[in-house]
Amino acid sequence: MTNTAASFIAKSTIKAADLDHRRKINFNIGKYNSVVPLGKQQFADVMITREAAKNKKWDAIEHLDKYLEEFEKKITARGARVLWANDTKEAQEYIGAICREKNCKTLVKSKSMVTEEIHLNSYLEEHGIESVETDLGEYIQQLDGEPPYHIVTPAMHKSKEDVAKLFAQKLGTPGGLTPEELTLVARKKLREKYVQAEVGVTGANFILPDIGAIALTENEGNARLTSAWPKTHIVVVGIEKVIPSVHDLHLFWPLLSTFGTGQKVTVYNTILAGPRQPNERDGPEEMIVILLDNGRTNLLSNPVAREALYCIRCGACLNACPVYKNIGGHAYETTYSGPIGKVITPYLRGMDEYKHLSYASSLCGNCTEVCPVRINLHELLLNNRHEAVKQGNSSLAERLAWQAWKTASLSRLLMNSGNAKMKNWVVNKVFKGWTTHRSELDFSRKTFNERWKEERKA
Ligand code: SF4
């Protein structure tokens, strides 16, 4: 077992027994579950909308090269710069070079999982640049020195009392502040940072190749301030975020908001097509878009797993997953947790180190059921297991055990030989790996053939 797998099992075991954690998660996911059906009422036929969105993403991912080049050409024509980053290191170095060039001491950042993926905050900190999270949930997590717990609601595991305590400890506020008071404290602190920051960094929810733009979705207005206030705006975005056209936003905006938070539409939806133009009064002087691969082309090169690139990061599969609800977002120790994280992380970070995640599933299919772009998540988890074995990422003991199981299952003679007690002993005691985290198998006292004969006689 790899160290990452051992650590995942250890952390999951502790979290699954943490009843206070479970209470907070159930409370927050319960609130989410109560509003999503209301949001869905806006669709005349939600299934047709989801299928249409899936088809659009199929088009985008199948023609990714063409769309990305079109995006680069069009946004460059409006004065933006496009940089292509193969991996974390290249993306960090691009951002580091821009910050040096701009003599940047403070940088503001809006919520973006891709910047988590490239560990941007710690990289900037090492280089003497203050990086300030401006999304309230991310700000709370940054104050607490924790990574986001969930891809949409980063501080989902904290109660309002936890946040009040944290603010009192870190910012010296009086204890027991209400959520409104806490928000005002954060707002005041963050406004000062916008004014000081030389550079603003955002992600992008969608890349719009036909008009050469990116689209941002948010509820707090902080991404607008981050992209418009500092003189330089850097966008870090995964290459899979393409949708074919700006006209497809009528599908994706409501789907993202309803499946993400239950809203009909998110509060602020912004389309940015380059830096401030000569006839415009607002906006940054410079806009740089970093298109990040970081393992996404590994997914692209696999015709089955490629479907995972359709993800619009709504977080619905996390909220629906019985495993996520028990072990929480941090046990995974990956940027992307829950079902989608389990599917993509082995491709982004290596099959050998992260294949264990694909096994942390009951394969109940609830993730597939709730995904707004109908990604077959539970089947992709099975596909990952298959890939791991194909690539030789399984131990000899595991291969021998499954070979023995297959031989026995395909042989009527072997299935009929011995009694249930002996079979139980072989499976539960000889192949001990099975029962480490599962209850023991209990074979039927009578074989299928014995029961068949009895039935026929009767
Ligand atoms: S896989 Fe589907 S449900 Fe999960 S985050 Fe992505 S779009 Fe949402």
For residue 134, the domain's CATH number is 3.40.50.10420
Q: Please give the number of the atom of ligand 1 that sits closest to the Cα of 315.
A: 5
Q: Measured from the CB, is residue 317 less than 6 Å from ligand 1? A: yes
Q: Indicate whether 181 belongs to any domain.
A: yes
pLDDT digits (tens, 9 = 90+) for 137-167: 999 999 999 999 999 999 999 999 999 999 9
pTM of this prediction? 0.91
pLDDT digits (tens, 9 = 90+) for 39-75: 999 999 999 999 999 999 999 999 999 999 999 999 9
- In this model, does residue 423 exceed pLDDT 80? yes
Pocket test for ligand 1, best of 255, 317, 343 (most atoms within 8 A of CB): 317
Q: Measured from the CB, is residue 315 less than 6 Å from ligand 1? A: yes
Tokens of 269: 């939806």
The secondary structure of 344-380 as a DSSP string is HHHHHH-HHHHGGGGGS-----HHHHH-TT---HHHH
SS3 content of the chain, % helix, strand, coil (to 5): 60, 10, 30
Tokens of 358: 């694909």
Percent of the chain with pLDDT over 70: 100
> Considering 235, 266, 294, which residue would you say is the last residue of a domain?
294
Place of tokens 């199981």: 405
222 and 162 share a domain? Answer: yes
| Domain limits for position 356 | 1-41+309-394
6 and 109 share a domain? Answer: no
- In this model, does residue 431 exceed pLDDT 90? no
Please say whether the beta carbons of 157 and 328 come within 8 A: yes
pLDDT digits (tens, 9 = 90+) for 273-332: 999 999 999 999 999 999 999 999 999 999 999 999 999 999 999 999 999 999 999 999
Q: Measured from the CB, is residue 53 less than 6 Å from ligand 1? A: no
352 and 384 share a domain? Answer: yes
Q: What are phi and psi of 127, to 5 degrees?
A: -100, 20
pLDDT digits (tens, 9 = 90+) for 339-353: 999 999 999 999 999
pLDDT digits (tens, 9 = 90+) for 198-257: 999 999 999 999 999 999 999 999 999 999 999 999 999 999 999 999 999 999 999 999
Q: Measured from the CB, is residue 311 less than 6 Å from ligand 1? A: yes
Q: How many domains does the chain have?
A: 3
Going by alpha carbons, the residue nearest to atom 3 of ligand 1 is: 371
Question: What confidence score (pLDDT) does residue 262 get?
Answer: 96
Pocket test for ligand 1, best of 51, 152, 313, 344 (most atoms within 8 A of CB): 313
122 and 151 share a domain? Answer: yes
Q: Indicate whether 302 belongs to any domain.
A: no
330 and 200 share a domain? Answer: no
- In this model, does residue 99 exceed pLDDT 80? yes
Bridge partner list, 359: none
CA dist 414 and 408 (Å) reads 6
- In this model, does residue 360 exceed pLDDT 80? yes
Going by alpha carbons, the residue nearest to atom 8 of ligand 1 is: 314
240 and 205 share a domain? Answer: yes
Going by alpha carbons, the residue nearest to atom 6 of ligand 1 is: 311
- In this model, does residue 78 exceed pLDDT 80? yes
Q: Indicate whether 303 belongs to any domain.
A: no
> Considering 294, 329, 350, which residue would you say is the last residue of a domain?
294
> Considering 370, 394, 418, which residue would you say is the last residue of a domain?
394
Q: Indicate whether 169 belongs to any domain.
A: yes
179 and 240 share a domain? Answer: yes
Question: What confidence score (pLDDT) does residue 154 get?
Answer: 96
Q: In terms of residues, how long is the chain?
A: 458
1 and 63 share a domain? Answer: no
Indicate the pLDDT class of residue 395, thresholds 50, 70 and 90. Answer: confident
Question: What confidence score (pLDDT) does residue 205 get?
Answer: 98
Pocket test for ligand 1, best of 251, 255, 314 (most atoms within 8 A of CB): 314
Q: Other C-beta atoms within 10 Å of 83: how many?
A: 19
CA dist 152 and 136 (Å) reads 12
264 and 410 share a domain? Answer: no
Lowest mean per-residue pLDDT among 138-147, 374-383, 429-438: 429-438
157 and 233 share a domain? Answer: yes
Q: Indicate whether 66 belongs to any domain.
A: yes
Q: Measured from the CB, is residue 341 less than 6 Å from ligand 1? A: no
Q: Mean pLDDT, the chain, as a whole number?
A: 95
58 and 8 share a domain? Answer: no
Please say whether the beta carbons of 227 and 233 come within 8 A: yes
284 and 340 share a domain? Answer: no
The secondary structure of 391-445 as a DSSP string is TT-S-HHHHHHHHHHHHHHH-HHHHHSS-HHHHHHIIIIISGGGGSSSPPP---S
Question: What confidence score (pLDDT) does residue 141 get?
Answer: 97
Q: Indicate whether 300 belongs to any domain.
A: no
Bridge partner list, 232: 199, 286
Tokens of 41: 């009422």
Q: How far is the CA of 70 from the centre of ligand 1 (A)?
A: 26
- In this model, does residue 433 exceed pLDDT 90? no
